[in-house]
Chains A and B, each alone.
Chain A
Amino acid sequence: MKDSKNILIIDDEQVVINSISKIAEEEGFSFDSVNDASLALKKISTTDFDLIICDIMLPEMDGFQFLSKLNSKRIDTPVMMTTGYSTIENAVKSLYSGAIEFIPKPFTVDEMTSVISRGMKYSILMKSKKAHDDSIILVPCPSKYFRLGYSGWMNQEPDGSVSIGATDFFIKTLEQIRKIELFDINEVLTQAAPSAKFETEDDLTHQLYAVISGIIIAKNNRLLEEPELLEKDPYFDGWIYRLIPTALDYEMKLLIPCSSDRA
């Protein structure tokens, strides 16, 4: 029987490991840490983790190589990427490569806490799904939709605009939503940059990344009144924004078609 721990932290900077472990400890999660990716692979072979928090810029094997290594070894432990070189490109690439979250450094305690909370919930959901637990029903996004990582979806409307929203999976990793904060019409969203804030009953604030860049032409004000709409109908009535996309063709290539989830 393998050991089991909650979180594995991979970072070549001790201060970052200390910071994350402090937060994990505070939240009551067990953890382990290593300084490079090959050590992490060894660690995974002996210990089961619920969640891996991995730096992108690592000596020798970098975060992306680590991700593909996990993929080839068919290890499905959810990975969250973090980096000091927090560009949009890195964020999008992380999510495209299979990471469930991207947290730019530096982060506050609250930010890291909410991401870890989502990550742990994600891990539990995945395990339940694997165990064919019928009490968990995840509604996949409609097949003509596209998603950024697992959290947000987009759909091209017939008039050329694009609607975006949050996936059922993402909503289910949150506690009861208390308050939603949205950008205003005419403001510009950038792909993989924050697009909405969700305040949950456990006093955490969660950011939803924009699936695609564009100018907001409409927002779903109903959500502000009844946040539960997101949960009830995440793909239709629970839409968040309507956008005029600014770089659709390019950004679409970085999205995952929802049709691939139904294979």
Chain B
Amino acid sequence: MNSIKKIFRKISLKLILVVSVTAILIIGVYSYFNIKSQSDVLLGEVERHANQLSETVKNSTRYEMLLNQREHIHEIINTIGNDPAINDIRILNKEGKIIYSTQKEDIGRMLDKRAESCYACHAENKPLEKLPMKERTRVFRAHPDSSRILGIINPIYNEKSCYEADCHVHPQSAKVLGVLDVTISLDEVDKQIQQNEMRELIFAVIAISAVGLIIGMFVKRWVDGPVKELVKATDQVAAGNLNYVIKNLSSDELGTLGKSFNNMIKKLDEINQQLYQSTKMASLGQLAAGVAHEINNPLTGVLTYSSYLLKRTKDNPQIQEDLSVIVREALRSREIVKGLLDFSRQSTPKKSLIDINEIINRAIAVVNNQLKINKTNLVKRFDGTISKITADANQIQQVFVNLFVNAIDAIGQSGGTITVQTSQISLSPKGITQIKNAVCPKMHSLIDAEVKIGGMPSLLLKIKSNGNEGFVSLDPIYGGRRHNLRIAHNNLTRRSGINLTCPVCDFSLIEKNNKCPDCGGPIYKIQIPNQGYLEGCASFQDDWQRWGWIDSAGERKFVEINISDTGRGIPPENLNKIFEPFFTTKGQHGTGLGLSVIWGIIDNHNGTISVQSEIGVGTTFSIRIPKSDSDRSVK
């Protein structure tokens, strides 16, 4: 019962039903009129034929009538009446007595004026003398079961030769002498009409089936298929598969629906990912809190007792040395746990002057055992002349330990080589220096964490041009070109009308006395607290920017560290994801925190980290940390 209901709920069936009913209506009406006109034509033909026959009988018996040779008339009527199509030929006299008939038993029988042969003329009280052709025919059935019969009456009028004939049967006063009545069976005609009706019916059935079939097919192809696909997609999404994409989209409305469905799922997936990330973050935070609390208590015992012993054993250098290792490592554990807690926050590096080579050596000491187990050879190519850099020793050590562990993992059990190279390089500040702080003359911060360019907070300014107002987000990299202009009628060619202001206080940032040396347009001037001013072309026609304070420092010196391994390499599609939080290829074994933490630490040191990799050949991480230029470092 339910399945039947289901079928009736189907859109294709509904459509077929509606179209079929319409077709039945049209074909029915058409067939009705068609069959009616056909049977009218057929009946007319039979009528004409019957009339002709009637005339023939009348004419061929005329002579015998005049001679009153009744035997001959009988003979003629019988001969003609032998035709199977002819039912009956009768001649009645004026009184209604059958004088001649092809049915012998009828002869001499009197017919009432009400009989159907007489009715045409005697319907009214006064008999008609003339009868039009149309009304001389009648169609009737002898019994309700028998076939239809067409009868035609032909009045025999009195004429001169009749009343002057020798027999003197008819007086001159009589107008009508009698009636010739011919009846013809309509069996054949009815069969023909029935056949036609049958044909129309078959045509209707075929036509409706064809219409249904075609509609069904196309509905299946254009509606059912896509709808099923959509239903499948929604089921998949409901089951949690947000990667499902509807393929083979058509260009019709259902295709558009599919497209927007795909788009919706994509957006849903993104939101879901973000939600997942933040949930992961939150649970990680809880985990960190638990771990920190649990570890810090026993660590308190280790640290206080060891530092207590260290104070108490100042006269025993041997024990002092061992104890100082315990204290140092306990302090390092404290920093690690703290790092775990600070992970989601802006953790501040505790910077001091450090020798990068020494830090790398310390990191190597940590992973030495793992190197041996994995038969991995570590090659050091240190530049011994490197001067010290300002950095957090613990954090930088953590970076290298992480990178070494990753390299060892990538190499695997079969063994390989890790190469660590340190060197000093100089780079122009343009294109590498991030503007991390900027204020208007009224000390409102222009840094906008909402709009990020290249992953860094941009500088937000209000822009006015030709009466239009909007905002511009400046690329936070000095000399960068990825500015984001958001103003209606982005037509800044007319330089005179441009004004850039602080989005908080609307104070103008345009420097009136200077012009852009490249295009002659207006320039803006933004204060970088304690680090001079940033100037740039306000018409955004060219990329001119000047930051005198940074430029005057000349090229910036960096320490570059390259760590190469001969491991399996990183697939190209993963290369730009590896620094994202929680990206991992190690499944359950990795935490997915390593490289994003490394990125965060290097970023906190105003440095950069990049990666190059080839499958099967190996991976190289390049880290650049600005040297100890505390008076010129950029925050």
Cβ-based interface call for B85 (8 A) = no
B443-470 toward A: CB 8 Å interface, digit per residue (1/0)? 1000000000000000000000000000
Distance of A184 Cα from B635 Cα, bound (Å): 13
Q: Which residues of A contact B149 (CB under 8 A)?
A: none
Distance of A84 Cα from B341 Cα, bound (Å): 10
Given contacts A185-B630, A186-B630, contact A108 B295 (CB under 8 A): no
Cβ-based interface call for A61 (8 A) = no
Smallest CB gap from B351: residue in A: A187
Distance of A88 Cα from B346 Cα, bound (Å): 11
Distance of A262 Cα from B299 Cα, bound (Å): 42
Identify whether the interface residues of B are mostly helix, strand, loop, or mixed.
helix
Distance of A12 Cα from B396 Cα, bound (Å): 35
Q: Which residues of B contact A187 (CB under 8 A)?
A: 348, 351
Q: How far is the CB of B250 from chain A (nearest CB, A)?
A: 54
What interface size band does chain A fall in? 35 or more
Chain A contacts with B in 168-187, Cβ cutoff 8 A: 184-187
Q: How far is the CB of B183 from chain A (nearest CB, A)?
A: 115
A96-137 toward B: CB 8 Å interface, digit per residue (1/0)? 000000001111111010000000000000000000000000
- Interface contacts (Cβ under 8 Å), in number, total 104
Q: Which residues of B contact A19 (CB under 8 A)?
A: 300-301, 304-305
With beta carbons under 8 angstroms apart, the residue of B296, B308, B631 that contacts A105 is: B296
Cβ-based interface call for B27 (8 A) = no
Smallest CB gap from A87: residue in B: B341
Report whether B633 and A86 are in contact in the complex, using a CB–CB cutoff of 8 Å: no
Chain B contacts with A in 22-47, Cβ cutoff 8 A: none
Cβ-based interface call for A57 (8 A) = yes
Cβ-based interface call for B289 (8 A) = yes
Report whether A84 and B292 are in contact in the complex, using a CB–CB cutoff of 8 Å: yes
Report whether B351 and A107 are in contact in the complex, using a CB–CB cutoff of 8 Å: no
Given contacts A108-B303, A108-B304, A110-B307, contact A186 B297 (CB under 8 A): no
Q: How far is the CB of A104 from chain B (nearest CB, A)?
A: 8
Which of B294, B307, B327 gathers most chain A CB within 10 Å? B307
What interface size band does chain B fall in? 35 or more
Smallest CB gap from B302: residue in A: A106
Given contacts A84-B293, A85-B292, contact A107 B530 (CB under 8 A): no
With beta carbons under 8 angstroms apart, the residue of A16, A22, A185 that contacts B297 is: A16
Q: Which residues of B contact A226 (CB under 8 A)?
A: none
With beta carbons under 8 angstroms apart, the residue of B289, B529, B633 that contacts A85 is: B289
A10-26 toward B: CB 8 Å interface, digit per residue (1/0)? 00010110111011001
Cβ-based interface call for B84 (8 A) = no
Q: Which residues of B contact A193 (CB under 8 A)?
A: 348
Q: Which 6 A-B pairs have the closest CB atoms?
A: A160-B443, A84-B296, A19-B304, A15-B301, A106-B300, A106-B299
- Ordered by A's residue number, 11 sampled pairs between the chains whose C-beta atoms are within 8 Å are A15-B297, A84-B294, A84-B296, A85-B289, A105-B296, A184-B630, A185-B530, A186-B633, A190-B346, A215-B635, A244-B529
- A residues sitting closer than 8 Å to B (CB atoms) are 13, 15-16, 18-20, 22-23, 26, 57, 83-88, 104-110, 112, 159-161, 184-190, 193, 215, 217, 244
Beyond the given A88-B345, A186-B631, A187-B348, could you list 17 further A-B residue pairs with CB under 8 A, ordered by the A residue number? A16-B300, A26-B308, A83-B293, A84-B296, A85-B293, A85-B341, A86-B292, A86-B296, A106-B304, A106-B334, A108-B307, A109-B307, A160-B439, A161-B443, A188-B348, A215-B437, A244-B530
